[in-house]
Amino acid sequence: MVIDYEGCFRQAGLIDVQTVIPEVVVDLKYATTDNFMGKVLYLGLKKAYLLPHMAERLKRVQARLEDLKPGHKLVIYDAARPLSIQREMFDRVKGTPQEQYVANPYIEGNEGGFHNYGMAVDLSILDADNKPLDMGTPFDFFGEEAHTTNDKLLLESGRIGEMAYRNRQFLYAVMQEQELYPLPNEWWHYQHFMEEPDKKKFKILDF
């Protein structure tokens, strides 16, 4: 059975990001086979949905990008994610070193991660030629090179290049201006609320 994800998202109070920011590019990796699972997970979902406050903040980030680097735009790789997809992803990595990168959807009372509430977004920046800026690793790279806690060390040890280092610093800066913060182990993942109890203030996308 194909779930009407978009209908369910709207019912939960989420909005289609492109209705707020028409210029943003949406390239949902889990709607393609270009992801760590190697399979299409979002059957019938091509749009990025988020809680309104996240979409509003991204709108300001996009406006700031236009000011600082005309022609550059945000590209969204993932946004709101249904809990059923989260289960499928977790089952795949359970018991492997990658388990730390996927939120556990089975913890009773604290199911899933911020994506499962529409509170988190995975993104990067496209240049004026619509090419993604070099961030040192691809999206969904499971390894220290993707961590955000010590970019300087990664640069000095040659694990990421100078350009990647500068691009990351730029991305952090424009996002943090709007109070959007990255996770320690994923340069592409941003959210406004950072603490676990904050999830309880929104509705889990349990479908």
Partner 1 sequence: MLLERYRYSLFIIAIALLAGVIGFIFNVWETHEGFLYDLLTTIISTAIAFFVFTLTYESVTRKTSTQSMVDEMRGLFEEQRRLVRNEFRDEVDDSIVKSLGAELDIIQKYSSNEVFDVVNNCSARLLGHGLAENMQNVLASILNNPSYRASMRYNIDIYPNDTERFEACTDAKFYISQTLEYKKYLRKVDGDDNKLDDNNLKLSCFFAFNKNPFLQKEQEEIFFLREELSSHSFIKSLNKENAIRLFDYWVQFFYEGDWVDLADIDSVEKQPSVEFVRQTCGGKYAGIKFVSNIPKQVLIEDGEYIYFRARIKCSYPTSRREFYFKVPELTLQANVSIELNSTNDSLHLVSFTDNYHIQLDKKSDSRESYNFCCNSKDSILLPNNGFTAVW
Closest CB 59 distance from partner 1, rounded Å: 9
The Cα-based distances of 158 to 129, 137, 138, 163, 172 in angstroms read 27, 13, 16, 12, 20
- Comparing CB distances to partner 1, the nearer of 41 and 50 is 50
**Burial label, 15 (beta-carbon count in 10 A; 0-12, 13-18, 19+):** buried
Closest CB 202 distance from partner 1, rounded Å: 6
Residue 122 pairs in a beta bridge with: 78, 189
- Comparing CB distances to partner 1, the nearer of 75 and 180 is 180
Residue tagged 């961590």 (tokens): 147
Closest CB 15 distance from partner 1, rounded Å: 9
**How many residues are recorded in the chain?**
207
Question: 124: part of which helix (H) or strand (E)?
Answer: strand 120-126
Question: 13, 9, 185: which is closest to 81 by C-alpha?
Answer: 9
Question: 189: part of which helix (H) or strand (E)?
Answer: strand 186-191
Closest CB 70 distance from partner 1, rounded Å: 24
- Comparing CB distances to partner 1, the nearer of 52 and 161 is 52
Closest CB 56 distance from partner 1, rounded Å: 5
- Comparing CB distances to partner 1, the nearer of 59 and 166 is 59
Site residues (vs partner 1, CB under 8 A): 11, 13, 51-53, 56, 179, 192-193, 195, 197, 200-203
- Comparing CB distances to partner 1, the nearer of 55 and 89 is 55
Helix, strand, coil content of the chain in percent (nearest 5): 40, 15, 45
Closest CB 175 distance from partner 1, rounded Å: 15
- Comparing CB distances to partner 1, the nearer of 19 and 150 is 19
